[in-house]
């Protein structure tokens, strides 16, 4: 090989080397266009490319096309999917500490939920999640979940005898049973059809999801029980993240934090708009002035859960004592 050829070969090697270093991540998102989290995940992808100087690019797959949420969480844990926007509810069966957020009425409000996440409670949950392979880079808002059906659900007695769809987490099953209802664990993608055909009588979610997947088209009443305030995360495979250089870690984390702040802004506006839209479409929204009957009914859920999981008491106390 002469000198020129060696130079060309060296150049090609550098180019190939750079090419091999650039990493393309696959991201999971359950929501479709028009939902705040879809725009936020697109923003996350843009920010990652920008802040890593193109060394990491992210392809976001919306609408849950990479699989159901419990499956996708497992995929991120093993590194088959790199990153995603996950609800902490379905993380609970894999990471016990995440179950804190699935205890009904554990948070007084969305700001209270964020204060817990930003304190010792969030540190404990985040560390346990990272240990399990799914590391939270930033927390995002998912508002509060309330019941909807073909009638108002203003007291726990209104749930009696109703078949209510829940996410596949035991605490939600207990929650519905404690009110005398029949819990029906089911994937998000199946709920609209199940409501439509009467396979279930009702479900529970926040306004943006109630609207975006058309649950409001097949129910008539949304009752503001606000029994669960479940945060979400932008979560990455732990091994993948830890293998990055310090600078790349900082860049990815900063991208997630900025995207999460953007998500919270979009959420505030989008969730109010979603409520207006479903009301305009004929949904009767009822305020529940006194939620104590619901809270009282949940006493049994706490007792049973903490008796079986005494190691969760500390997290519950942290949440309850956070101002």
Cβ proximity to ligand BDP, 188 vs 262, nearer residue: 188
Burial of 33 (0-12, 13-18, 19+ CB in 10 A): exposed
Cβ proximity to ligand BDP, 89 vs 121, nearer residue: 89
Exactly one of 87, 173, 225, 271 binds ligand BDP (CB under 6 A); that residue is 87
Cβ proximity to ligand BDP, 56 vs 283, nearer residue: 283
Strand-pairing partners, residue 203, are 148
When asked if residue 234 is in the footprint of ligand BDP (CB under 6 A), the reply is no
When asked if residue 228 is in the footprint of ligand BDP (CB under 6 A), the reply is no
- Taking the complex as a whole, the smallest distance from the CB of residue 9 to ligand BDP amounts, in Å, to 50
CA 79 to chain CA centroid, nearest Å: 19
- Half-sphere exposure in the Cβ direction for 301 (13 Å, CA): 24
DSSP annotation of 188 reads G
Residues 6+ apart with CB under 8 A from 222: 146, 147, 148, 207, 210, 216, 278, 283, 284, 285, 286
The total number of residues shown for the chain amounts to 323
Side by side, the strands of the sheet bearing 83-87 are: 56-61, 23-28, 83-87, 232-237, 134-140
Cβ proximity to ligand BDP, 102 vs 238, nearer residue: 102
Which one of the spans 13-21, 171-179, 203-211, 307-315 is the region binding ligand BDP (CB under 6 A)?
203-211
Helix axes 313-321, 299-308, angle to 10 degrees: 140
Exactly one of 206, 225, 237, 238 binds ligand BDP (CB under 6 A); that residue is 206
Cβ proximity to ligand BDP, 23 vs 61, nearer residue: 61
Q: Angle CA(251)–CA(41)–CA(97) in degrees, nearest 5?
A: 80
Which one of the spans 71-79, 132-140, 202-210, 309-317 is the region binding ligand BDP (CB under 6 A)?
202-210
When asked if residue 188 is in the footprint of ligand BDP (CB under 6 A), the reply is yes
Side by side, the strands of the sheet bearing 221-228 are: 182-185, 163-166, 202-205, 145-149, 221-228, 284-287
Residues 6+ apart with CB under 8 A from 71: none
- Taking the complex as a whole, the smallest distance from the CB of residue 87 to ligand BDP amounts, in Å, to 3
Burial of 26 (0-12, 13-18, 19+ CB in 10 A): middle
When asked if residue 184 is in the footprint of ligand BDP (CB under 6 A), the reply is no
- Taking the complex as a whole, the smallest distance from the CB of residue 206 to ligand BDP amounts, in Å, to 5
Segment 67 to 86, residues that bind ligand BDP, using CB under 6 A: 69
Phi, psi of 91 (to 5 degrees): -80, -25
Exactly one of 43, 51, 62, 167 binds ligand BDP (CB under 6 A); that residue is 167
- Taking the complex as a whole, the smallest distance from the CB of residue 207 to ligand BDP amounts, in Å, to 10
- Taking the complex as a whole, the smallest distance from the CB of residue 208 to ligand BDP amounts, in Å, to 7
Helix (H) or strand (E) holding 232: strand 232-237
The two structure tokens encoding residue 67: 């699989």
**x/- track of binding to ligand BDP for residues 110-149 (CB under 6 A):** --------------------------------x-------
When asked if residue 30 is in the footprint of ligand BDP (CB under 6 A), the reply is yes
Segment 43 to 72, residues that bind ligand BDP, using CB under 6 A: 69
Exactly one of 38, 154, 209, 271 binds ligand BDP (CB under 6 A); that residue is 209
The residue ranges that bind ligand BDP (CB under 6 A) are: 30, 69, 87, 142, 167, 188, 205-206, 209
């Amino acid at each position: 090989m002469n000198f020129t050829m060696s130079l060309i070969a060296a150049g090609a090697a550098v180019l190939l080397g750079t090419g091999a270093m650039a990493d393309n991540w696959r991201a999971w998102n359950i929501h479709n266009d028009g939902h705040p989290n879809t725009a936020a995940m697109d923003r996350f992808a843009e920010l990652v490319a920008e802040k890593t100087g193109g060394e990491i690019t992210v392809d976001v797959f919306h609408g849950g096309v990479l699989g159901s949420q419990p499956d996708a969480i497992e995929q991120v844990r093993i590194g088959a999917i790199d990153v995603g926007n996950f609800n902490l509810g379905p993380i609970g069966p894999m990471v016990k500490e995440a179950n804190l957020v699935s205890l009904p009425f554990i948070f007084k409000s969305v700001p209270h939920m964020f204060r817990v996440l930003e304190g010792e409670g969030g540190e404990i949950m985040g560390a346990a999640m990272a240990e399990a392979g799914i590391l939270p880079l930033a927390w995002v808002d998912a508002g509060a979940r309330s019941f909807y059906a073909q009638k108002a659900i203003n007291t726990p007695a209104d749930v009696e005898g109703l078949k209510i769809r829940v996410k596949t987490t035991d605490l939600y099953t207990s929650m519905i049973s404690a009110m005398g209802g029949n819990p029906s664990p089911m994937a998000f993608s199946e709920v609209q059809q199940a409501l439509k055909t009467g396979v279930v009588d009702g479900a529970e979610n926040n306004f943006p999801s109630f609207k975006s997947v058309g649950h409001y088209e097949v129910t008539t009443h949304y009752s503001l029980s606000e029994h669960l305030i479940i945060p979400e995360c932008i979560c990455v495979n732990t091994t993948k993240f830890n293998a990055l250089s310090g600078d790349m870690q900082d860049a990815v984390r900063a991208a997630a934090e900025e995207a999460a702040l953007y998500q919270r802004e979009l959420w505030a506006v989008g969730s109010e708009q979603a409520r207006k839209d479903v009301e305009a479409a004929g949904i009767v929204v009822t305020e529940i002035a006194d939620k104590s009957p619901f809270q009282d009914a949940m006493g049994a859920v706490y007792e049973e859960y903490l008796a079986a999981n005494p190691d969760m008491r500390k997290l519950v106390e942290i949440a309850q004592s956070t101002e």
